[in-house]
Each structure stands twice: as structure tokens, then as C-alpha cells.
Structure 1
């Protein structure tokens, strides 16, 4: 497995910043706690896969990966709109 910076979780929660700002103090704490738990579970899962014998590549040339996905970006831009693709990429770049 190569750690390319992509994220997978069967429990994804997406919220617009404007809506997130409206959460109560307790809601904001819960939201941040869930993000931390996902990071913990992700790291623990990778550690377990290593223990089970999976080779995990951490030094990934991300520019090479992005170049390989360029044809998919072109297709997705046609299907979903260039602005949506650019917005999604901007979120990833902000991390």
C-alpha cells in the first residue's frame, strides 16, 4: 500500500464551514474529536497492516501520482464540471 495522502473512511462526514460555525460549543468539540479519532484509527490500521505483513510505502512521489491520474481529472471535469474538480483539489491543497 502506498500512502498517497488520499483518505478513505466508511464514516465520512462533510459539513460546510458556515454550518460548522453554527454548531454549539459541544457540537464543535464532538466534530473535532471525531476528526482526531479518524486520524488515530487510520494510523492504527496502517500499523496493523504492517504487522500483518503488508508493505507500506510512505515516501511517495505525489507529483507522479497526480500525473498518472490526469486522464481521470479530464474525464471527471467533463462529467462533473471543472469548477467542482478545482474546488476539490483546493480543499486537499489547503491541508
Structure 2
């Protein structure tokens, strides 16, 4: 089992969550579409060659973003990551994937 953590602007949170759930994330026992999220601020500086969804090259941006955590099975995490990247508005979405220990 893996835990996926991703960061998404508030305007696109539900769309991206729906995509990763459709791809197979969010299952825990007899429940589906399980996640945890918290609103915070992300920042980034679009560099030369970037095509930012928000902001402009060379200008620091601070954006309201959600940190979303959900689970995905080992056999499906590649499909979940592909769905995340496809649905996310950012050119390079920030995400983390952790392998969980079975105890």
C-alpha cells in the first residue's frame, strides 16, 4: 500500500481528487474516495522556459493550495500518478509517494 500526497490549487482540488479516485486511489477497507486535506499556501517562482498556469516567469507566486493525502494499492499507483498529472492544472505538479509498512 502507498500513500499519495499532492498539492493542488483550491480551484482544482475536487477535479484532481475525482481523477485520482477514478484511477483507483482512495480505498480503505470497505470505503472509497477516502482522503484527508488541509488548506495552506504554496509558493513558486516560474523560471525561464516554464509555462505557468498561474503567474508569470520571474515573479514569485503565493497560491492557496490544498495538501491532499490518500491511499493507493501497489498495483495501481502508476495509473493514479498518471491521472493526477493529467487532471492537475500545473505544468509540474508537486506530489510525494510513500510506501507504507504493513504492521
Pairwise TM-score range, normalised by the shorter structure: under 0.3
Structure with the bigger percentage of strand:
2
The structure whose Rg is larger is 1
TM-score with structure 2 setting the length:
0.24
